[in-house]
Amino acid sequence: MTTITVIGSLNYDLVTFTDKVPSAGETFQANSFENHLGGKGLNEALAVARLSPKEITTRMIGNIGNDNFGKELKQALVDSDVDVNFVKTLQDQSLGVAVILVEEGGENRILITAGANGELKPSKEEYKEYFSTQHDGFVILQNEYPDTVKTMDWLVANRSEINIAYNPSPFKKDLITHEILRNIDLLIVNEGEALDVERYLGGSVDNGKVDAATKSDNISRFSELSTKLQGMINPFKVNTVIITMGSHGCVFVSKGLEPQFHPSRKVKEVVDTTGAGDTFFGGVVLQLALGKDIGEAVKFATVASSLVIQKKGAAESIPKYEDVSC
């Protein structure tokens, strides 16, 4: 059975809903407050597991604190059939926390406190244990734990047959180099991250022109950029780049294919975009692991993420396989 392993963050989300985000020194009355399970690692693992027709083994590698939040989060993974053998409980650390401000219209701003996630620094011996049985499939990575690059290096040196799927979020310019990109098999970025990657690798970008461009101009611009980024990542496996464009949709390119645009799925009301990107990412990787082509994978993931934005919360809003109708 094919395996997808997610390495990354496990957080508790503290969410405030507000008509607007206050400026510096300003106090503003918010509308409501909620708490939810979250973290990019958790969201991605739940997305893979819930969206799978049970033909995939989903594993989570991460840290939680010895508190009720951590226990609740780990149970949520278990309830979704995620393998949690390598979710470690740290005795002297709190669970990671994300403070999320959701504005009217659903756009969000997120502040992360690492907590136990900041101690996720596996040794070589631990990597050997993690991957003693996995010799295929994907490993999903992001930047919400300290050792993303070391993980890539170990996998390339010791399990080169596994595809590395990477979302460089939150963006860290020191983790964007030609050497690091060559280790990646599937790169997924949003518009801003794509432009940041180009900028820090020596390209020239006029963000103002891109922001002011029409939708068709942006499709053309990001199609060109996706091809450029594809040439920087590992050419020997799935060799796929996806640039998400918010409510417009996404541009993607894969081995043997020209760049293509896929529109977003329109919904009646956007409630909360938190977790939509992680669900899209997990959905794409899952479909590729099941042997689907990139066009089918993007179509499926687009529908799945459109369901997320119609509900509050990240983890709780991730749909199941039977909910997704393409």
Q: Is 229 helix (H, G, I), strand (E, B) or coil?
A: helix
Residue-by-residue DSSP string for 47-115: HHHHHS-S-EEEEEEEEEESSHHHHHHHHHHHHTT-EEEEEEEETT-PPEEEEEEEETTS-EEEEEE-G
147 is a catalytic site residue = no
Euclidean distance between CA atoms 25 and 27, whole angstroms: 7
Bridge partners (DSSP) listed for residue 86: 61
Euclidean distance between CA atoms 326 and 323, whole angstroms: 10
* Burial of residue 248, with CB atoms counted within 10 A of its CB: 0-12 exposed, 13-18 middle, 19 or more buried: middle
Bridge partners (DSSP) listed for residue 253: 241
Backbone φ and ψ for 102, nearest 5 degrees, come out as -110, 115
Euclidean distance between CA atoms 134 and 13, whole angstroms: 31
- What one-character DSSP code corresponds to residue 311? S
Marked catalytic residue, from 174, 278, 293, 323: 278
Euclidean distance between CA atoms 241 and 258, whole angstroms: 11
Quick one: which H or E segment has residue 164? strand 163-166
As annotated, the active-site residues are 278
